A and B are shown apart, each in its own frame.
Chain A
Amino acid sequence: NAGVTQTPKFQVLKTGQSMTLQCAQDMNHEYMSWYRQDPGMGLRLIHYSVGAGITDQGEVPNGYNVSRSTTEDFPLRLLSAAPSQTSVYFCASSPTQGGDYTFGSGTRLTVV
């Protein structure tokens, strides 16, 4: 099925550990973004990309790295996990002409 695929769906990390959240889309969308959503809150933009090899910071980039080596994939790396990074992480993609912003199902991350 076409769409945005996020893995894993759930993850528990210990403070200080690193990990990569995976995001892949098969719609040939140029734009991809990562958001975090804390309990009872809205979505905050972490990083975004306008195409392969091009990324930029969003509202809350500290503690996260991204890269975009292909159009399809946009992984998010947590360098040294902290309890404040406990959240649900959403990846999204869209074509350049707009009107179709597709979200993945999310990754629920707990840092203990």
Chain B
Amino acid sequence: AQKITQTQPGMFVQEKEAVTLDCTYDTSDPSYGLFWYKQPSSGEMIFLIYQGSYDQQNATEGRYSLNFQKARKSANLVISASQLGDSAMYFCAPYPYSSASKIIFGSGTRLSIRP
């Protein structure tokens, strides 16, 4: 079974600093993308960023960027210039193309931004 590991259950970061959230996985599928989602205390799942298997450059969306290292099966989320509103749970999920309907999420990292 696919396993996703987010090794940082909780992180505290000073406002305006950059933060890197780790995600590793063990999918055997050679073709896969990767999602990151944010879940604030209100509970909704908010899409942050996605990178496809054959994208040549790391994906970026505003202050969010992916450090996608397929050889290491690692896809870390980098948030630049953190804001108080970034305090939330963050989940990563590989998107194997051969079983794209069966997406398994990591256990999440709780990020807290200090003013």
Q: Which residues of A contact B (CB under 8 A)?
A: 30-33, 35, 41-45, 48-50, 56, 58-59, 88, 90, 92, 94, 96, 98-103, 105-106
Contacts and interface: CB of A to CB of B under 8 A. Distances in A.
A32 B37 CA distance: 17
Given A94-B100, A106-B43, A106-B44, A43 B105 contact: yes
A49 B33 contact: no
15 contacts: A31-B101, A32-B101, A33-B101, A41-B108, A42-B91, A43-B45, A43-B91, A45-B103, A45-B105, A59-B1, A94-B103, A96-B100, A101-B47, A101-B50, A103-B44
A59 B4 CA distance: 13
B40 interface: no
B52 A50 contact: no
Contact of B104 (A56, A59, A90): A59
B101 A48 contact: yes
Contact of B106 (A42, A88, A102): A42
A42 B52 contact: no
A60 to B, nearest CB: 11
Nearest to A45: B104
B52 A90 contact: no
A56 B108 contact: no
